[in-house]
Amino acid sequence: MLTVLVAAATVLVLTGCAGIPTAGGVNEGRVLGGDVEPPDFSLVPDPPRPGASPAEIVDGFLRAGSGPQDDWARAREFLSPAFRVEWQPQAGVTIDVLGTRTTRELDEDTVSVLASQVARVDEKGSYERVDEGTTALTFELAQQSDGEWRIIEAPDGIVLDRALFPSVFGPYSLAYFDPSWDHLVPDVRWFTRSRVVTRITEALVNRPESEWLAASVVSAFEGVEVVSAPVNAGVATVQLSDAALALDQQTWDRMQTQLEESLSGAGVSEVEMLVGTTTLAAEAVPVRRTTIAGQALVSTDEGFGFLSASGLTPIPGLSGKIGSLDAVSVQVGPDRDVAAVQLADGAVWRIPAVGEDTLVDDRPGVISPTIDPLGVIWTVPREDPQALRAQLPDGSVISVGDAWPEASQISAMAVSRDGARMAAVVTAGGRTIVLVSGIVRTGGGTGWLLGAPLELGTATGAGRGLAWLDDTTLGVLSGDSGSMSVLEQLVGGPGSAGAGPGEAVSIAGGATLATTRVLGSDGTLFVRRGQNWQEIAGGVLVLATQQGMPE
């Protein structure tokens, strides 16, 4: 019997703050003035200490990477006058563990630093996790005319402790289109908060997409460059190259859409595009949103529908069909007119609201299926990750190439709600890892493949469930009997893991990150409340996932 324990609850939105060292030469900074972008609460590192040794100069230089003001002016104080103009801090970020960083003087004018690298950010702002290992950095120094040591040769880029990284850099989503131009697809990048509007526009227009996503998205800015992007009172004035004048109205509107969405996270409320003194009159185009209903979608002994205080609210056409099936997994398409359903015998079926049900895949060991915005149902056997299939609504089947080539097993997969990305939890080299790949649809459907996967993180124990919590965040359920973990993984950034309810079997997103839901093996439904899990219902047989909602 379905039991609703909590009919309504206040959603608590918690904000975290990264710890700032209280020692080691880094002090709390002031709010930078003279810029009308959102306030930049930057750190102000210490300057070089008179009489510092070569090792101390290198250590101070690395710590000064936490101060991006004036293009890392403080860090440049540790460099010789000639090298100050050569060093390129924007080349990337090496993210390491400060507590294990070691500095050693190889000789009088050479210092070696061994950093335990855990991630890196490239010159485009793309974040990539790396297997923790030692990275050697070499610095050459020379005594200046005043007798002080200064660095004359060093690697480009900066080095930041992983605990300090989020205090210096922030995540911003660049908006691209999927190939149908119906959905916006986010590409998370990391930029310092100073001049962030300029950094976002330059990355969106002048630089390529992240490598793993590039073949799965399109941009309206082909052949166009951004010249400048000053912002005043929340209005960004984006100066574009002359090539923009030759483009048609639809392209201008799509450009406007990408800019507005990309800059919304930087405090920009309005965007104006210009070429010289000519204003490009453009309006954002309508795009398909990827929000989902706030209520949990479940199957119980009373049927299938949205959970409410009074019971279940059915989905016309689908609830009657799905409620009569012995289902173990359900994912409903964005228009709620079709669902991908796996039965207890392992077979996967296409269940339309109107029309005949059709068998999708009855191969042994198939994991829970996923359905995309086009109605394509994706299936794969647990023990054969490379045997990924996509069944189109007309019943034709495509064997998808390049699916997780290094994986020996797959426990879960999920297509993003925009249909451009595939996330998966796989076993490779004895580890349980979380991957995301771009979906490449070419050749009229005959040449579909997954792009090279980006490793996002590792899971604790066996993979149990995977869900898109929003457009940029995955929820990963993993663990062994009685000890469950829920990983909240940013696609293009670090993740955070916490304890999950014991004996959990599946996970689903809610209307916000704060309402992630997990189903226990005994039918108890839990919702996240801060760092805890609150029981909200009992008697749930299946926790379904949603791929959107009708517009």
Domain spanning 315-546: CATH superfamily? TolB, C-terminal domain (2.120.10.30)
431 vs 18, residue with greater confidence: 431
Q: Which two tokens stand for residue 513?
A: 């990150």
Residues 127-152 have pLDDT tens digits of 999 987 899 999 999 999 999 999 99
| Rg for the chain, CA atoms, rounded | 26
Give bridge partners of residue 237 from the DSSP assignment: 272
Percent of the chain with pLDDT over 70: 92
310 vs 338, residue with greater confidence: 338
- Are 174 and 81 within 8 A, CB to CB? no
Q: Among residues 303, 336, 340, which one has the least CA distance to residue 320? A: 303
Checking if the pLDDT of 20 tops 60, the result is no
| Mean of all residue pLDDT scores within the chain | 92
Checking if the pLDDT of 18 tops 60, the result is no
Residues 282-334 have pLDDT tens digits of 999 999 999 999 999 999 999 999 999 889 999 999 999 999 999 999 999 99
- Identify the pLDDT of residue 13: 32
Rounded CA-CA distance 71/194 in Å is 9
- Are 394 and 403 within 8 A, CB to CB? no
DSSP string, 448-472: -EEPPPEEEEE-SSSEEEEEESSSS
How many Cβ atoms are within 10 Å of 50's Cβ, its own excluded? 8
Rounded CA-CA distance 170/188 in Å is 10
- Identify the pLDDT of residue 310: 87
Rounded CA-CA distance 160/120 in Å is 10
Candidates 3.10.450, 3.30.2310, 2.30.29, 3.10.129; CATH matching 44-163: 3.10.450
Instruction: Locate the domains of the chain by residue range.
Output: 44-163, 169-280, 315-546
Does this chain's domain 44-163 share its CATH topology with 315-546?
no
- Identify the pLDDT of residue 6: 45
Rounded CA-CA distance 322/544 in Å is 11
| pTM for the model | 0.90
Q: Would you give the distance in Å from CA 132 to the centre of its chain?
A: 20
- DSSP-derived letter for residue 74 is H
- Are 409 and 416 within 8 A, CB to CB? no
Checking if the pLDDT of 414 tops 70, the result is yes
Rounded CA-CA distance 181/353 in Å is 26
Torsion of CA 363, 349, 347, 403, to 10 degrees: 40
Longest dimension (CA), the chain: 86
- Are 456 and 129 within 8 A, CB to CB? yes
380 vs 446, residue with greater confidence: 380
Cα first-last separation, the chain: 33
DSSP string, 283-326: -PPP-------SSPEEEETTEEEEEETTEEEPPTTTHHHHHTS-
**pLDDT, average across residues 481-491:** 91
- Identify the pLDDT of residue 42: 64
For helices 249-263 and 196-206, what crossing angle results, to 10°? 140
